[in-house]
Amino acid sequence: MAVQERPVALAGPDRRAQLSLFARNFFKHPRMLGSIIPSSPFLVRRLLERVDWGRARVIVEYGPGVGTITREILNRLHPNATLVVIETNDDFVDFLNRSLYDPRLKVIAGSAEDIQAQLNQLGLPPADYVLAGLPFSTMPAECRERILAASREALGSGGAMLIYQFSPKVSSDLRQTFTRVESDFEPINVPPARLYYCHK
Ligand SMILES: C[S@@+](CC[C@H](N)C(=O)[O-])C[C@H]1O[C@@H](n2cnc3c(N)ncnc32)[C@H](O)[C@@H]1O
């Protein structure tokens, strides 16, 4: 009987290893992470409900950390689609490269600001979705503005940027950058999170 080859979304290190690596990095870079544990399944589900999985062919995730959202994206992603994850923390990049095997996944060591250069280098068209849980409220304003503007430019028509945050500070920048912004809230997360769905 022919066995259908399927990408392996998770192999190797288990959940305990993910939590431990995330917590250690929180103590090293608290402002870059914002929480001592990764996003809850409730937050991940609420964020990903907004994705049209039948249509999406290019998704970019900023700050995947230990891959909590990444794994759930891969579980839902169309077989012909590509997921690009961009992460500044080398420990996390290394962990993702060691623990996630999926031909649809491209792990990039770098900053979200360079999204367009990364898409060009991979020969990909504009993104359908950009997903971000970056610490926008603690980064310098110029950096936040550059990332938001670059994300808007990298989205194709009908594209959306889906964001979760632990502070409302970014909301005015979002409303200045995007045509339409909807907001939402997920209480079952540490800490409770605001969500913003930003349309190009
Ligand atoms: C709140 S954690 C989110 C982790 C994971 N997405 C989750 O939901 O559990 C923020 C992540 O963004 C990363 N990060 C911070 N600034 C970044 C930037 N400019 N570009 C890409 N990643 C960044 C941090 O290293 C960290 O992994």
Q: Please indicate whether residue 14 or residue 77 has the higher confidence score (pLDDT).
A: 77
**39 neighbors 28 (Cβ within 8 angstroms):** no
134 C-beta closer than 6 A to ligand 1: yes
163 C-beta closer than 6 A to ligand 1: no
Q: Is the pLDDT of residue 154 over 60?
A: yes
The rounded percent of the chain whose pLDDT value lies above 90 is 81
Q: Where are the alpha helices (H) located in 29-140, listed in sequence order?
A: 30-33, 41-48, 68-76, 90-99, 115-121
Residue 176 half-sphere exposure toward CB, CA atoms < 13 A: 10
34 Cα nearest atom in ligand 1: 1
What was the pLDDT predicted at 8? 46
Phi-psi label, residue 104: left if phi above 0, alpha if psi -120 to 50, beta otherwise:
alpha
Q: In which band, very low, low, confident or very high, does the pLDDT at 2 lie, cut at 50, 70 and 90?
A: very low
Question: CB under 8 Å to 48, separation ≥6 — which residues?
Answer: 69, 72, 73, 76
167 C-beta closer than 6 A to ligand 1: no
Minimal CA–CA distance to 126: which of 55, 56, 58, 197?
A: 58
Q: Is the pLDDT of residue 3 over 70?
A: no
Give the separation between CA 152 and CA 130, rounded to whole angstroms. 9
Q: Is the pLDDT of residue 74 over 70?
A: yes
Q: In which band, very low, low, confident or very high, does the pLDDT at 36 lie, cut at 50, 70 and 90?
A: confident
Q: Is the pLDDT of residue 1 over 70?
A: no
Q: Which CATH number fits domain 39-199: 3.40.50.150, 3.40.50.80, 3.40.50.720, 3.40.50.1360?
A: 3.40.50.150
Pocket test for ligand 1, best of 36, 39, 87 (most atoms within 8 A of CB): 87
Any idea where the domains of the chain sit in the sequence?
39-199
DSSP, res 126: -
What was the pLDDT predicted at 33? 75
Q: Please indicate whether residue 62 or residue 22 has the higher confidence score (pLDDT).
A: 62
23-27, 49-53, 152-156: least confident range: 23-27
Each residue of 113-134: pLDDT tens digit?
Answer: 999 999 999 999 999 999 999 9
Kind and range of the H or E run holding 138: none
86 Cα nearest atom in ligand 1: 21
What was the pLDDT predicted at 13? 54
Please measure the distance between the N-terminal and C-terminal CA atoms of the chain and give it in whole angstroms.
Answer: 47
Q: Is the pLDDT of residue 11 over 60?
A: no
Q: Is the pLDDT of residue 140 over 70?
A: yes
Question: CB under 8 Å to 27, separation ≥6 — which residues?
Answer: none
Q: Which residue has the tokens 């060009």?
A: 120
Question: CB under 8 Å to 154, separation ≥6 — which residues?
Answer: 60, 115, 116, 119, 126, 127, 130
**25 neighbors 85 (Cβ within 8 angstroms):** no
* Average pLDDT score over the chain: 92
Minimal CA–CA distance to 137: which of 97, 165, 109?
A: 165
Each residue of 187-199: pLDDT tens digit?
Answer: 999 999 999 999 9
Report how far ligand 1's centroid is from the alpha carbon of 4 (Å): 34
